[in-house]
């Protein structure tokens, strides 16, 4: 009988534009480090790789790409870092991820591609142990300085993105997809995040799951 070695937890932060994902993962990373818990933060898109630079150029409207092509590049950007994520988890490190495959599906589906097609290239990526979805209203997003200059930062697209995220979340259990009201003070949001993440940092004895394998 094979036994599963304890591993690190894989925590994904997703959410609407300006919901405070980057703010919250940074706070969480600092707090984990302060507690002496080994942690590594990833951010997607990772704009530092060759693929990431192509994505960056597209998002800044400095290049044009077919919708399918940019979708596959976002997915490839995750696959090129998937082995590192797995190695860190196996070594007992808690891995935090600022956006992941759910953003990939939400944005490309909102642009008009089919949800099933959008999901395909991300099937079998490491699956998060929990996804924290930071939820804010478009009005709250506007009060945070509104949307920026990048290609997807338009209110109508963001409304569609919100609907697709809703659809994606319905396939997960309450334990693996947690929606957090991110329209509150930073400290209150951070406290909710901490209460969910901290109990997962003592080492997990369950095997790492694969994304969407059961639906493939």
- Contact positions vs Mg ion (CB under 5 A): 21-22
Does 45 bind ligand Z5A (CB under 6 A)? Our answer is yes
**What is the bridge-based pairing of β-strands 10-15 and 130-135?**
parallel
Cα–Cα dist 177/174, whole Å: 5
Among positions 14, 17, 119, 133, the unique one binding ligand Z5A when judged by CB under 6 A: 17
Does 153 bind ligand Z5A (CB under 6 A)? Our answer is yes
Strand partners for 40: 95
Name the phi and psi angles at 4, rounded to 5: -95, 125
Token pair for 158:
């963001």
CA atoms within 13 A on the CB side of 200: 23
Does 52 bind ligand Z5A (CB under 6 A)? Our answer is no
Does 103 bind ligand Z5A (CB under 6 A)? Our answer is yes
Residues 60-99: x where in contact with ligand Z5A by CB under 6 A, - otherwise, as a string: --------------x------------------------x
Cβ atoms within 10 Å, residue 79: 14
Instruction: Note the residues at the interface with ligand Z5A (CB under 6 A).
Output: 15, 17-23, 44-45, 59, 74, 99, 103-104, 107, 144-145, 152-153, 185-186, 189
């Amino acid at each position: 009988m094979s036994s599963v070695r304890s591993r690190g937890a894989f925590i994904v932060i997703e959410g609407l534009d300006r919901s405070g994902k980057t703010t919250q993962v940074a706070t969480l990373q600092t707090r984990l480090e302060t507690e002496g818990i080994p942690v590594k933060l990833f951010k997607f898109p990772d704009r530092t790789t060759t693929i990431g630079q192509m994505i960056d150029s597209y998002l800044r409207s400095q290049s044009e790409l077919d919708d399918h092509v940019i979708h596959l590049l976002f997915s490839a950007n995750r696959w090129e870092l998937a082995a590192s994520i797995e190695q860190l988890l196996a070594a007992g490190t808690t891995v935090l991820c600022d956006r992941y495959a759910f953003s990939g599906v939400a944005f490309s589906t909102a642009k008009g591609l089919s949800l099933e097609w959008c999901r395909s290239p991300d099937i079998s990526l490491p699956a998060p142990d929990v996804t924290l979805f930071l939820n804010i209203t478009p009005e709250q997003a506007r009060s945070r300085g509104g949307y920026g200059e990048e290609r997807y930062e338009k209110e109508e697209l963001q409304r569609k993105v919100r609907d697709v995220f809703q659809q994606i979340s319905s396939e997960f259990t309450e334990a693996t997809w947690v929606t957090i009201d991110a329209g509150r003070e930073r400290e209150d949001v951070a406290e909710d995040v901490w209460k969910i993440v901290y109990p997962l940092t003592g080492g997990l004895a369950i095997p790492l799951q694969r994304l969407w394998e059961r639906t493939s």
